[in-house]
Amino acid sequence: MSRLEIDWTRCDGHGLCARLLPEKITLDEWGFPSIDGNPLDRAMVRDARRAALACPALALRVSRKN
């Protein structure tokens, strides 16, 4: 089971993650991401990894939780 996580010490609120993965990430009123917290579907893991790699601040990551 994989999850999407944000490193808040790195996040600058660029919002790119929400544009790349709108099914899981929305932006709050200040432009910072909010993740739904549910595990990623197997089909969504690849898209989540792409969004994490595209993050300009390297604040997004896909972790594997057992």
**pLDDT for residue 37:** 85
What is the pTM assigned to this prediction?
A: 0.86
Sketch out the chain's domains with CATH numbers.
Answer: 2-64 (3.30.70.20)
Label residue 5 left, alpha or beta by phi (over 0 means left) and psi (-120 to 50 means alpha): beta
**pLDDT for residue 65:** 74
**pLDDT for residue 56:** 95
**pLDDT for residue 66:** 61
pLDDT (tens digit per residue) in 4-60: 999 999 999 999 999 999 999 999 999 999 998 899 999 999 999 999 999 999 999
